[in-house]
Chain A
Amino acid sequence: MKETEARIFVISPNSNIMPSTLYWYLISQKFPLKMKETCFGLIVEGEKNVIKEALQKIREVDKYHIFSKIRAYPPGDLRICRANRGGGPRTGFHFIEFECQLLPLIGAALKSLEEEEKIVAVKPPEKRIVPIQVIRRLIKECE
């Protein structure tokens, strides 16, 4: 049996992408994944390499507004599904809700970090040409 993984994709509140858009995008890319659309994003489950590919595709779409982490339970698991627990938020919801509010700040920071790194990478090497006057002076001093 191949190793499987479940993941949560959380969309930042300042993103233009809706969870349903992401859901249909992954379906259009024909990934063999089990998916569940939620209020904060998506829960997906599938083979590890397929999840990795999907993650790369999602990062290509919007890398500053979609965040992900591994999830313990498969999507729609009866043990934590709130439909079976008589309502109320599901376990782990409050923490995701709290961190979700910070995602716009983290997204903006990632963007500025990447821009800074690009500037550093593209920056031309400093010209270190010794002026002729200095060379002449050094030669005179040696004499």
Chain B
Amino acid sequence: MKVFVFPPNSLILADLVERFGHEPLVITKEIREMVTTPEIDSPPLNVTEKELIQGLKYVAIETPSGIRGRMGVLGPLIDQAEAAIIIENADFAFGCSGCTRTNILVKYLLGQKDIPILKVEYPSTEENAEAMVRKIFDFLRNLSK
């Protein structure tokens, strides 16, 4: 099954989802297609006008271009998602997901979809880590049934 992970560039979640036999929906996969496919722009860009227009499906026209561009990439991933794993205390959502408003919107859109969602937190101790991995393992195992 296709599992959306939040933060969308998380190494830990992407690895765990793949380890337990599912396909993680990560932003890097989308960006890779954009930056390696030959286009009119040379070298090809990670976000173009096309993504900004695509983002209008998810946000209003007066929304800042940063959110619109991000939603242009993240929106189709949310549409494809059959399940989702969200890390609640991901304050360190740097890079492509370093936008609070986009993150709030992504969580809202996932909540609107009728899909199973697991919410976990980054671990601080070994016990927390075991509980987190166990929850993810059980969640993904139940998805396959």
- Report the minimal beta-carbon distance from A115 to chain B, rounded to whole angstroms: 11
Cα of A83 to Cα of B92 in the assembled complex, Å: 25
Contact indicator B12/A67 (Cβ below 8 Å): yes
Contact indicator B26/A69 (Cβ below 8 Å): yes
CB < 8 Å: which of A94, A95, A108 contacts B7?
A95
B: interface residue count bin: 35 or more
Contact indicator B122/A102 (Cβ below 8 Å): yes
The yes or no answer to B83 lying at the interface (CB within 8 A) is no
Residues of A within 8 A of B46 (CB): 72
Residues of B within 8 A of A6 (CB): 32
| Interface of B, helix, strand, loop or mixed by DSSP | helix
Query: Which among B16, B24, B133 has the greatest number of chain A C-beta atoms within 10 A?
Result: B133
Closest to A112 in B: B130
The yes or no answer to A71 lying at the interface (CB within 8 A) is yes
Cα of A4 to Cα of B32 in the assembled complex, Å: 10
Contact indicator B31/A92 (Cβ below 8 Å): no
Query: Which among B11, B12, B122 has the greatest number of chain A C-beta atoms within 10 A?
Result: B11
Cα of A102 to Cα of B120 in the assembled complex, Å: 14
Closest to B7 in A: A95
Residues of B within 8 A of A42 (CB): none
Q: Interface 1/0s, chain B 123-142, versus A by CB < 8 A? A: 10110111011100100000
Closest to A89 in B: B94
Q: Interface 1/0s, chain B 24-39, versus A by CB < 8 A? A: 1011110110011000
A: interface residue count bin: 20 to 34
Contact indicator A109/B31 (Cβ below 8 Å): no
Closest to B124 in A: A105
- Report the minimal beta-carbon distance from A98 to chain B, rounded to whole angstroms: 5
Cα of A74 to Cα of B32 in the assembled complex, Å: 8
21 A/B residue pairs, CB under 8 Å, sorted by A: A4-B36, A67-B15, A68-B18, A69-B28, A70-B14, A72-B28, A73-B31, A73-B35, A79-B35, A92-B9, A95-B9, A95-B11, A95-B92, A95-B93, A102-B12, A106-B129, A106-B133, A109-B129, A113-B130, A113-B133, A113-B134
Chain A residues in the interface with B (C-beta under 8 A) = 4-6, 8, 10, 67-74, 77-79, 91-92, 94-96, 98-100, 102-103, 105-106, 108-110, 112-113
Chain B residues in the interface with A (C-beta under 8 A) = 7, 9-12, 14-16, 18-19, 24, 26-29, 31-32, 35-36, 43, 46, 92-96, 122-123, 125-126, 128-130, 132-134, 137
